[in-house]
């Protein structure tokens, strides 16, 4: 539906559709930070079940998990930077590569890669 001037009633001054959020940039930073913190917590909590159920989880795999979890937390605090979403995407790729150390890390990489892709989709829809 448009008004007589041809603009949508829910459009902003430049004609783009508004998201309805007071500060969409801040909301998307919160989304990215939340996803990364959730990933860090799941990675750290997954160490023991992987060791018990999945077999041999060696020192390099544990070190990689701790390093990735640390990188997630640090990156969550840097979501104001323009490059943070790109770095988060690289982080998901690194988690997939850790699947070479243990098969369950590949599974976590696929799961969090899909969650991150959905977060990128939401960001694109909200911010345009």
What per-residue confidence (pLDDT) applies to 100? 92
Q: Note whether residue 108 is domain-resident.
A: yes
Instruction: Show the 3-state SS of 78-109.
Output: CCCCCCHHHHHHHHHHHHHHHHHCCHHHHHHH
Rg, C-alpha atoms of the chain: 19
pLDDT at 1 over 60: no
pLDDT at 128 > cutoff 90: no
Specify whether the CB–CB gap between 84 and 75 falls below 8 A: yes
Burial of 64 (C-beta count, 10 Å sphere; 0-12/13-18/19+): buried
In a domain, 91, yes or no: yes
21 domain-assigned: no
Model pLDDT, residue 21: 84
Please, where are the H alpha helices in the chain? 24-45, 47-53, 59-76, 84-97, 103-127
Q: Whole domain around residue 105: which residue ranges?
A: 26-48+57-127
Domain assignment of residue 71, yes or no: yes
**Predicted structure pTM score:** 0.84
**Per-residue pLDDT, 34:** 98
Confidence bin at 13 (pLDDT 50/70/90): low
Q: Total structural domains in the chain?
A: 1
Q: Is residue 10 part of a domain?
A: no
Is 7 part of any domain? no
Is 94 among the domain residues? yes
To 5 degrees, how large is the angle CA 64–CA 51–CA 87?
25
Specify if 96 maps to a domain: yes
Question: Can you give the pLDDT at residue 29?
Answer: 96
């Amino acid at each position: 539906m448009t008004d007589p001037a041809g603009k949508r009633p829910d459009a902003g001054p430049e004609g783009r559709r508004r998201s309805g959020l007071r500060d969409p940039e801040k909301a998307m930073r919160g989304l990215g930070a939340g996803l990364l913190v959730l990933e860090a917590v799941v990675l750290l909590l997954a160490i023991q079940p992987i060791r018990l159920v999945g077999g041999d989880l060696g020192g390099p795999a544990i070190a990689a998990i701790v390093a990735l979890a640390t990188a997630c937390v640090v990156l969550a605090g840097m979501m104001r930077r323009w490059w943070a979403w790109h770095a988060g995407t690289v982080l998901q790729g690194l988690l997939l590569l850790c699947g070479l150390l243990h098969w369950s890390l590949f599974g976590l990489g696929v799961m969090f890669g899909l969650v991150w892709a959905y977060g990128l989709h939401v960001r694109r829809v909200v911010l345009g």
